[in-house]
């Protein structure tokens, strides 16, 4: 039986999960409709669609595992279920961060202004950059899967009597945690570097505009600022998400920690829902479609009120 606070946190996390699914489903549907109409999907459309689908899967895995852990913990007892959840989590989590990193690099190469020959070379060969990131993702999976397989098959991670039993030292758990999330750390560092370079590009552009006495509110500056806001929002929200997941990992070592688990879950769900809304507002096509849908819903509501009267 859940306490009042646990029930509140579960309700909040469930609402966040629904918001994340609705927002990311909207992003995926809009891009799929564009593909169906134009018979072609742009790079940005592909990245946004992949990011939205991976986030939907991420939310479904988290919320399903949470409800099973809380209400049907005996379902987590079989070792093959634990192994399956672990593999799915690694694939979806790292794929989600890969798409987010690809989105930031795409914006960076399209918007930033640098005369360095490496930047110019990368800008002309953006497809090679994505292939390189795919290679990093595959290498990350190759490092992560054996660690999970060894932990499960050596019976170092079991679910007994409604609680996880971790048969390893804390230092060993930390090392395994770092190895299984190596790809996440790598892509997140790339995101930080890209955001830092965009800020430098904006600063240099503003100085150039100041020296030319042209003012600051030009289109290039606004695009820079909008993109930096999206990247910074992702960084902040993803840090919160990762903190929530880390709290849930800590719960593996603490018996009867449902309240802490709920708090971590609520924190983790802030990222997929809020960032999808930020992407919708930052993308002109997605924003236009969302406004049209809201206007349509408002017209339907007004029509219903007229029929009732």
At 165 the three-state DSSP class reads strand
At 160 the three-state DSSP class reads strand
**Which tokens go with 188?**
């997140």
Q: How far apart are CA 252 and CA 270, in angstroms?
A: 22
**Which tokens go with 30?**
């809009």
- The angle at the Cα of 195, spanning 116 to 119, to the nearest 5 degrees, equals 15
At 157 the three-state DSSP class reads strand
* DSSP letters spanning 215-264: -S--HHHHHHHHHHHHHHHHHHHHHHHHHHHHHHHHGGGSSS-HHHHHHH
Contacts of 74 (CB under 8 A, 6+ apart): 162
Do 276 and 58 meet the contact criterion of CB atoms below 8 Å apart?
no
CB atoms under 10 Å from CB of 249, counted, come to 16
Q: What domains does the chain contain, in order, with CATH numbers?
A: 4-308 (1.20.1070.10)
Q: What share of the chain is helix, strand, coil (3-state, %, to 5)?
A: 85, 5, 15
Q: How far apart are CA 217 and CA 209, in angstroms?
A: 10
pLDDT at residue 60, rounded to an integer: 93
pLDDT at residue 66, rounded to an integer: 86
Task: Render each residue's pLDDT in the chain as its tens digit; 309 residues.
Answer: 678 888 899 999 999 999 999 999 999 999 998 888 888 888 888 999 999 999 999 999 989 888 888 887 777 666 667 778 888 888 998 999 999 899 889 888 888 888 888 888 888 888 888 888 899 999 989 888 888 777 766 655 555 554 555 555 666 667 777 778 888 888 888 888 888 888 888 777 777 766 665 554 566 677 777 888 888 888 889 889 989 988 887 776 676 677 888 899 999 999 988 989 998 888 888 888 888 888 887 887 776 665 665
Whole-prediction pTM: 0.85
């Amino acid at each position: 039986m859940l306490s009042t606070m646990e029930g509140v946190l579960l309700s909040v996390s469930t609402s966040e999960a629904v918001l994340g699914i609705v927002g990311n489903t909207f992003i995926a549907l809009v891009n799929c409709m564009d593909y169906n109409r134009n018979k072609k999907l742009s790079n940005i459309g592909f990245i946004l669609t992949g990011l939205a689908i991976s986030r939907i899967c991420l939310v479904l895995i988290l919320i399903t595992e949470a409800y099973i852990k809380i209400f049907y913990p005996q379902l987590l007892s079989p070792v093959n279920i634990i192994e399956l959840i672990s593999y799915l989590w690694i694939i979806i989590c790292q794929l989600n961060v890969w798409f987010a990193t690809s989105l930031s690099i795409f914006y960076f190469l399209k918007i930033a202004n640098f005369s360095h020959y490496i930047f110019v070379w990368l800008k002309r060969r953006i497809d090679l950059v994505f292939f390189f990131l795919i290679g990093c993702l595959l290498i990350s999976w190759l490092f992560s899967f054996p660690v999970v397989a060894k932990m499960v098959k050596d019976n170092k991670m079991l679910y007994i009597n409604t609680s996880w039993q971790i048969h390893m030292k804390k230092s060993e758990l930390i090392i395994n945690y770092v190895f299984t999330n190596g790809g996440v750390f790598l892509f997140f560092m790339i995101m930080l570097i890209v955001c830092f370079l965009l800020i430098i590009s904006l600063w240099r552009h503003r100085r150039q505009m100041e020296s030319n006495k042209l003012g600051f509110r030009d289109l290039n500056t606004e695009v820079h600022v909008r993109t930096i806001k999206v990247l910074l929002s992702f960084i902040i929200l993803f840090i919160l998400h990762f903190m929530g997941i880390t709290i849930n990992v800590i719960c593996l070592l603490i018996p009867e920690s449902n309240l802490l688990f709920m708090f971590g879950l609520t924190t983790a769900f802030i990222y997929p829902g809020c960032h999808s809304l930020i992407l919708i507002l930052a993308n002109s096509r997605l924003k236009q479609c969302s406004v049209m849908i809201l206007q349509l819903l408002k017209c339907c509501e007004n029509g219903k009120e007229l029929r009732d009267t």
